[in-house]
Amino acid sequence: MTKICPRCNTENPDNAVYCIKCGYKFGEDPNIQNKNETINEPGNTTGIPIYIWVVLSLIFSIISFLAYLIWTLNSLYDFILLASKGVFFIYNTIWLMILIIFLIGSIIVLNNVMKIYENFKANNLDYIRKKLTIEFIVISFIFGLIITGVFLLLLQLDLESNIKKQ
């Protein structure tokens, strides 16, 4: 059984607290504006359902993790190959350390985006709003091959425009 949002007519899971499309909080009168909440028109700022941003963030954080993993393993292979010949270049060592740092950063981003995805499926939008801080989005830009940060920023903007609480 599903809940139908009275504001935008979207089907939501039966245990949903908020509508996955417009952010309406179930149990409130859809026509009355709460003094702590700004009610927007159905939909969101971009016109694209919020779940699209969550899924795209997850996909691109996986892609960035795999890219950094392959890149790091390739550089590690080159490093070991040169080291076995007795050749050490400071450039190779520094580059490998930088790639390992980016690989660790991409793992952190992927882990957090997976938590956002799981909470989105559970319709826990409050957790997502707390998790989507500017710091996390900046880290996602750096370690998520930029595109992950873009999708997380769009997700945050849509959530803020739909469920604005003071």
pLDDT digits (tens, 9 = 90+) for 98-134: 889 988 988 988 898 898 888 888 888 788 878 888 7
Question: Is the separation of the CB atoms in 123 and 12 below 8 Å?
Answer: yes
30, 24 contact by CB (below 8 A): yes
Q: What is the mean pLDDT of the chain?
A: 78
pLDDT tens sequence across 11-46: 888 888 778 777 778 876 655 444 333 333 344 455
- Residue 24 is encoded by which pair of tokens? 């309406």
Instruction: Report in angstroms the alpha-carbon separations of 60 from 12, 55, 147.
Output: 26, 9, 7
Query: Taking 80 as the threshold, does the pLDDT of residue 166 lie above it?
Result: no
Residue 157 tokens read as 């903007």
DSSP 40: P
Q: What is the mean pLDDT of residues 45-72?
A: 82
Q: What is the mean pLDDT of residues 57-74?
A: 90
